[in-house]
Amino acid sequence: MTTWSDRKRRLELYVFPALGSMVPDDIRAADVLDVLKAVRDKGKARQMMTHVKTDISAVLGALWRAELLKENVCARVTVPDALPEAAERSSKERAVLTDEELVRYLGWVHPEEPYQKGVLQRQVMSVLARVFGGLRTGDEHALVWDLFDIENAGFAWGYAPRKKTRKSGGKPQRLEIPEIARPILRDWWEREGRKQSGPVFPALRGERAGKHKEGGSHAHAFRIDLRRAFGIDERKPFEIIRKNNRKLTRYRWEKARELTPREAVLFEETDSTLPVDFHSWRRAFNQALADAGVNAQQAQALAGHASLQAHERYLRNSQKMRTMPAAAVPHTLTAAIGISASLTLKSANQNDESRVGVRGFEPPTAGTQSRPSTRLRYTPRGRGI
């Protein structure tokens, strides 16, 4: 099972503490429901409760099919609704970085050498997630060099693992690698020693160094990278006194300035969005397909979605500015606004011989007759009213 590690983690967190010491025959539907309510009370979304119920059902179902249990009591359990705040949060969209912000991130190098490779790894992962099939984090962890066209260092194509959809019958997808990503991937390959096999993005530290990553999220480290790349946090020196009374200069990262409104959307939860994380690149990939006019069926295939409904979830973006097509604007209304503005301007000039500049009426000067406040709100024709 491709998601065994996730299931094991959920069982350890939520199920074993409550049901692990019970004999399977003694487990009742009420016991399973109590577990789900405990998950709910921790502020988790309804989807997490559904996952936990499925995990319990998988264990009890195996015993039932082996005729060791009379029934799988999970069939009697209805997943409760999430707490209001959790339900509201699960409906929020994930903030998405612009391509300009991606370029800014890629241009940043960590000033301390021990951390440079970790940052570079996340940068290469960001590029692939953005332009190569909108890879999920689990897909990137599953990537091996065997899946890429490494003959003559071409990197013209590669296979997207699609771990999430493979359990429902999906297969790895062969996709063209956009030319803009090829030199970036080739550079990472050369830094990794031109390997012919093994994980593309291995663990860099600890006992699993060089092996596949197991679960985990890059969101925290990714947001730290972005804050530093954008100049929100800066590396500043400070001095400490050693035991021999000598001064030693060290460095630490400190907040250098307040967030701009745009940065607040990226790094803080708002009424409509969640902070940016690594899955934001997948959302950016799908939105870019829609902006390019790619039809839904082709976009679904490129993104590796199991259904059109799953694909459409990524296209909801209340933060994206929509532009009204010119053909959809009533031209008669436009003409009426233009006539009204012209009459207002003519009346104002006749009354006080005022001058109108590009920015509208100038404020009255000393010794001149004050103008009505309505005239000060005038904007030249073509700039609105």
DSSP conformation letters of 90-110: HTSEEP---HHHHHHHHT---
Tell me, rounded to whole angstroms, the distance of Cα 70 from its chain centroid: 45
Q: State the span(s) of the chain assigned CATH 1.10.443.10.
A: 92-322
Return contacts of 300-305, CB within 8 angstroms, 24+ apart. 301/173, 302/133, 302/134, 302/175, 303/133, 303/134, 304/133, 304/134, 304/160, 304/162, 304/165, 304/170, 304/173, 305/165
Considering only the C-alpha atoms of the chain, give the largest distance between any 2 of them, rounded to a whole number of Å: 100
Query: Looking at domain 4-90, which of 1.10.150.130, 3.40.50.2000, 1.20.1270.360, 1.20.1090.10 is its CATH number?
Result: 1.10.150.130
Beta strands 93-94 and 273-274: pairing type?
Answer: parallel
Q: Can you give the pTM of this predicted structure?
A: 0.66
Query: Looking at domain 92-322, which of 3.90.79.10, 3.65.10.10, 1.10.443.10, 3.30.1360.40 is its CATH number?
Result: 1.10.443.10
pLDDT for 339 equals: 55
Cβ–Cβ < 8 Å for 381, 368: no
Res 14 pLDDT > 90: yes
Q: Count Cβ atoms below 10 Å from residue 66 Cβ, excluding itself.
A: 8
Model pLDDT for residues 228-267, shown as the tens digit of each residue = 999 999 999 999 998 888 999 999 999 999 999 999 999 9
Res 318 pLDDT > 70: no
Q: State the span(s) of the chain assigned CATH 1.10.150.130.
A: 4-90
